[in-house]
Amino acid sequence: MPAQPGRGRTAGGSGRRRRSAFTPPRTPRLREADGTARQSDPQNLHTADGERLQKVLARAGFGSRRACEALISTGRVSVDGAVVTEQGLRIDPARSAVHVDGRRIQLDDTLVTVALNKPRHVVSAMHDPQGRRDLTEFTAEYPQRLYHVGRLDYETEGLLLLTNDGDLAHRLTHPSFQIEKTYVCRFDAPGGPPRSLVRTLRDGVELEDGPARADRARVLAQDGREAVVEVTLHEGRNRIVRRMFASQGYDVTALVRTRIGPVLLGNLAPGSSRRLTERELGTLMAEVGL
């Protein structure tokens, strides 16, 4: 009896079935975060005309395709909440939520978030009616139209975020997502600041618009004439750091913001900017529920 089409042996007689060139890849096995297996839903996770997951990761800056395949095979990558451990998954970068080591990665390459070291005597605005220096001169190198997230006053320098991601910007400035910010303050302190100052800032001071409290405060330097104190707090009220020191009789002569959440100013020169790293952006997004 002649063999039925598709059921006979191959020309080499190995007995293996010939796989069609159009056979879709096996659906990757997925695991819950605790390691237990669960059945994936190909309709929700696999996009036939999407991009391979390892290619998406490589484009996002996680190394070569081979390195990204290793990330997948070791269970460090999840898609829409499910850990992927096998190769072959195709996703839609515009719709899939991808995490590496628990951190969300930004897959939309049209969205840009930038760290800027704002110099003194620059207005935190894209245009100033008084003709003072504004932020437009620092965004010219980016083709996207960027907007500042929050503000630094005219006299304050340091870390300022610029982005065209409206959702991220909204959450970073919303009162319900209070991101830690760190400032370094220089002020006149003949004889050095009293030991009680740092404790007072941590315990809280009374301002005209309500109490304000530092999460952390410490003296970095003092020479008998000036002192330098580092202050970390969640609040973002206007000129809050300067007003906290003023309430204790100290006039801040120099103020620099050095950190916003996981993003550090580091050695970024005044007037210079850089794109956030994937780790910084992923951690920042996680802190605001993205």
The label of the residue with tokens 């190909």 reads 42
State yes or no: is 153 an active-site residue. yes
Q: Two tokens at 93?
A: 């970068």
3-state per-residue secondary structure call for 188-206: ECCCCCCCHHHHHHHHCEE
Q: Of 80, 128, 134, 153, which residue is the catalytic one?
A: 153
What tokens appear for 217 in the block? 């405060």
What DSSP string describes 27-79?
A: PPPEE-TTS-EE---HHHH--TTSEEHHHHHHHTTS--HHHHHHHHHTT-EEE
Question: Is the distance from CB of 102 to CB of 123 less than 8 angstroms?
Answer: no
Strand duo 252-260 + 263-264: pairing: antiparallel
Give the 3-state secondary structure of residue 262. coil
Q: Radius of gyration (Cα) for the chain, nearest Å?
A: 27
| Residue 77: closest CA among 94, 89, 59, 92 | 89
Please report where in the chains the tokens 């070291």 appear, as a residue: 117
Give me the active site residues, please: 153
